[in-house]
Structure 1
Amino acid sequence: MDKVDEASLEIRFADLYGNMLDKSNNKVLRDYLADSYTCRMIAHKNIRCLLGTVKNTEESKDSDSLIYSSCFLLAFEGSYVRTIDSIIYLLVLDGHDLFDPLRERYVHFPDEINRIDISVKFKFLKEHRFEILIRQEDSELRNKIAHHDFRISDRQKITIKGTEYELKKRLESLLGFVRDISKPYVDALRKESELRGIFPSES
């Protein structure tokens, strides 16, 4: 995984968001982004609560692995997907067409974007030079966990088709990545909003 270039990402996010504000000063967009941020915070809170139930005893080996599996699903769907959905929404509002092959139509609204398959989202991000945001291996791991296609091999570890995954490391990596891309994203939105007098400065 390439290191996230926060400065470069912030410039691109600022351009996207700034374009939207210049075009329409869209309150719906701002409300959606605020709601998306709230959902990510709720996911993080739930993850912390779940991890607080982990007990380092031999008897809890299986339950610990299941807890970490659940946390990974929460991190992927509640934090990571919410983040890239917000960026995809900005791209759509900026005039880029996103086609849903399952429903055979173009999508324009957040709830429609949310229902699109992750592979379509990844393709869309790659087409618009946001491939740094793609977590293909995590997506595949998410699918295996969601469909219970794994076996518990050790504490906080699962095995899928002969390959062992350390869930704690994978969870920390994914949450760290979301944090790394969220900072330039939030900074860009805050600065562009303040420039236009939409949100009060926190300073």
Structure 2
Amino acid sequence: MNKNSLISALIALAVVLPADSYAKGRIRSSHSHGSSESHSSHATESHASESGSGFVRSAVARSNRSDGNSSSDGASASPGTPLTAEEDANLRRIRQEKEAARAKRDAEALAARKLQQAADEEKRRELAEQAAIARAEEQKRKDAAAVAKNRELALLERQQRQAAWEARCQIKAVMSDEEIATCKEVWTTPAR
């Protein structure tokens, strides 16, 4: 029986038992008076209080049955009676089984949490590796683009130098020895 149902059953008994004993005391006193009128009213009160007490008893019995905490011979122990050694041992065994089940459940939850954390850590590590690979590939692309751009710039610069070098030689119908020497130099040697 869980604590809440036990507490509610004890409170109900504490409220009903004094009223029940009071009603029984009034019945006895009415029998001693011998009045038929008072006897019928007290009998009605007694019946009402007994039915209320029966309601509480049946609620406690149902609570015991629903919790599954009845003793081994099938009879439920009432809250006021002391437990026998066998019932006490059974209750201890049940508590230990519940604690063992709770410990097992907690251990399984802890193991599942650790597995989840390991899986999450592995996932983070894989994502970090993928990000590092992506950064390295992006850097390679940038480097390759920079190398290609530098080659194009170097080729363009060389072509411009060559054009400026070749522009030194202008062929005319009449050329001086110096102009002829410059043209020979331009055609035989690369641009400087």
* TM surpasses 0.5: no
Higher normalized strand content (fraction of residues) = 1
Output the TM-score relative to the length of structure 1.
0.32
Q: Which of the two has greater helix per residue? A: 2
Structure with larger Rg: 2
